[in-house]
Structure 1
Amino acid sequence: MNRLLDKVAIITGAASGMGAVEAKMLAKEGATVFLTDIHEENLKTVTNEINASGGHAYYKVHDVSNEEQWNSVVEEVIRVAGKIDILVNNAAILGDLSSPMEERTVEEFNKVLHINLTSHFIGMKSVVPLMKKAKGGSIVNISSIGGIVGSAGGTAYTASKGGVRLLSKGAAIELAPFNIRVNSLHPGFVDTEMNKNMPNYEDFKRMAIDGTPLNRGGKEEEIAYGVIFLASDESSFMTGTELIIDGGNTAV
């Protein structure tokens, strides 16, 4: 408890899945959390749950691919809380995983990159001036083991997640003089609602677990503990690196 006391955090894609769990657990550690997503009803539900359990949470409907909406989110956070200590760029989509590469459209490819990668840049761009003014901050960009190794069918997704990894490294070097840390977090297979929408999901799940030395999928809470660590002062000498939480999948 209180590992993030008096910290203010923005978490995108927080209406469900890993983002919702991250928001709840950051709030339990003392952070004031601002949840954003495009799904207002779910956002409201998660926010109310946090507040009912004694946390401090707010929400704003937010399309992460829209720079004007990012500016609006930041303005709201500053109005309510006065500062931004933590940004968790969590929002993402899978894109088309069912069609052969030659049948996928450039528009679909660019959509995945814009939501999964460009949004991280926009988010960082939006909060960095305030973090510079405060002389520090922590940015956690959620990537994937798909940003470490390739996978058939997910070319746009893996390209976007690999981009997140190197975007984080570049930003970490640029922002280090301002005591702003930037790290990427790479979950392995987690049984989330987003994953359940994949074609042939049960086959994919079985294959993912078979390829994981710990012989199971991860839990959303296990990923959130990594976010807490990277967001907190416990990781104050970490920047520009990858935290891989995958049960050993990429070690094989």
Structure 2
Amino acid sequence: MQNYYTSKIILITGGAQGIGRGLAQAFALEKAQVVITDLDWEAGADAMAWLRKQNLLVDFMPCDVSKEEQVQQLMNKVRQQYGKLDVLINNAGIASPTRKPLAQLKVEEFDQVLAVNLRGPFLCSKYALPLLEKGTNPTILNMTSTRAFMSEPDTFGYTAAKGGLEALTHSLAVSLGPQRIRVNAISPGWIETGLWQKEGQKVEPHHSQEDKEQHPVGRVGTPEDIAEAALFLCSDKAGFITGQSLTIDGGMTVKMVYHE
């Protein structure tokens, strides 16, 4: 991005593992100061050590984004240390319980998924606002999912939360437009994150030919695929884009599948 991100402050929630770790590396490679936050202290320390070995600028601030007080404390730390925020990436999310029949799904289980995946981005956006207003061409990027538009059976909480986050994206874009804050979303499909976990939980990916052929591009996605799009959407090259959701799924959601 031709040094666009040099000296920019980037906050990535859920940045310790998976797509979040890929995003952290990508922005740091562009000379940004990256702050990752995560509920998993071990994963956060692991990610920070891994990135610093690459001589990248990264800081770790633990936080449970579903808790209002913790989000307030997080933004206070960012303010004290950096004074501003240029990019907020709402990436933190949980899927558990991944699948449960409706009759067996507990209300508190449903609520917890919504608390992290939907209330978390709301809280982070709310309390990051004063910092973003001090940033340069500030942007918010929400990480949704193709599950917002299509479902497997018994994925109620995750699907509902991601659908809500899609709607929150355009609501924030309209509401924060007068402050010149752009808000967009990325909707990932099947992204392989096995090698982007903390030590001890890394998994060497293996995909069958059938897995690959589900995607018109012929492969499963990677965190780098998401990061490249994020770098564009959060830059001034995307200055006329707001309130939009970019699906990155290798074409999987537009491929019709018939079974004889």
User: Which TM-score applies when normalising by structure 1?
Assistant: 0.90
Q: For 1:92-137, what per-residue CA distance to the aligned partner results, in whole angstroms no more than 9, with x for missing partners?
A: 1112233212211111111111111110000100111222344741
Query: AA paired with 1:191?
Result: E
Distance in 1 between residues matched to 2:98 and 2:132, nearest whole Å: 37
Match of 2:112 in 1: 111
Give the drift of 1:229.
Answer: 1.2
Distance in 1 between residues matched to 2:235 and 2:150, nearest whole Å: 28
* Structure 2, gaps ≥5 residues long: 198-204, 256-260
* Structure 1, gaps ≥5 residues long: 197-201
Distance in 1 between residues matched to 2:56 and 2:180, nearest whole Å: 27
Match of 2:86 in 1: 85
Give the drift of 1:78.
Answer: 1.6
User: Which TM-score applies when normalising by structure 2?
Assistant: 0.87
Q: Which of 232, 235, 241 is 1:229 aligned to?
A: 232
Match of 1:158 in 2: 159
- In structure 2, the CA distance between the partners of 1:125 and 1:207, relative to structure 1 (3 Å rule), is farther
Give the drift of 1:212.
Answer: 2.2
Find the residue that maps to 1:63 and give its secondary structure.
Answer: coil
Match of 2:130 in 1: 129
- In structure 2, the CA distance between the partners of 1:53 and 1:124, relative to structure 1 (3 Å rule), is same
Query: AA paired with 1:34?
Result: V
Give the drift of 1:210.
Answer: 4.6
Match of 1:247 in 2: 250
**Greater alpha carbon shift after TM alignment, 100-109 vs 116-125:** 100-109
Find the residue that maps to 2:31 and give its secondary structure.
Answer: coil
Find the residue that maps to 1:124 and give its secondary structure.
Answer: helix
- In structure 2, the CA distance between the partners of 1:105 and 1:144, relative to structure 1 (3 Å rule), is same
Give the drift of 1:44.
Answer: 1.4
Contact 2:16 2:47 in 1 (8 A): yes
Query: AA paired with 1:87?
Result: L
Match of 1:35 in 2: 36
Contact 1:34 1:57 in 2 (8 A): yes
Query: AA paired with 2:227?
Result: A
Contact 2:137 2:236 in 1 (8 A): no
Match of 1:8 in 2: 9
Find the residue that maps to 2:133 and give its secondary structure.
Answer: helix
Contact 2:85 2:134 in 1 (8 A): no
Distance in 1 between residues matched to 2:55 and 2:177, nearest whole Å: 34
- In structure 2, the CA distance between the partners of 1:59 and 1:164, relative to structure 1 (3 Å rule), is same
Give the drift of 1:235.
Answer: 1.0
- In structure 2, the CA distance between the partners of 1:150 and 1:98, relative to structure 1 (3 Å rule), is closer
Distance in 2 between residues matched to 1:29 and 1:3, nearest whole Å: 8
Match of 1:185 in 2: 186
Query: AA paired with 1:230?
Result: L
- In structure 2, the CA distance between the partners of 1:82 and 1:129, relative to structure 1 (3 Å rule), is closer
Match of 1:199 in 2: none
- In structure 2, the CA distance between the partners of 1:135 and 1:217, relative to structure 1 (3 Å rule), is closer
Give the drift of 1:209.
Answer: 4.5
Contact 1:91 1:116 in 2 (8 A): yes
Distance in 2 between residues matched to 1:2 and 1:135, nearest whole Å: 14
Q: Kindly, what percent of the aligned residue pairs are identical?
A: 34
> After the TM superposition, which residues 44-55 of structure 1 pair with which residues of structure 2 at under 5 Å, given as runs?
44-55=45-56
Query: AA paired with 1:235?
Result: A
Contact 1:189 1:208 in 2 (8 A): no
Contact 1:131 1:137 in 2 (8 A): yes
Match of 1:216 in 2: 219
Distance in 2 between residues matched to 1:237 and 1:51, nearest whole Å: 34
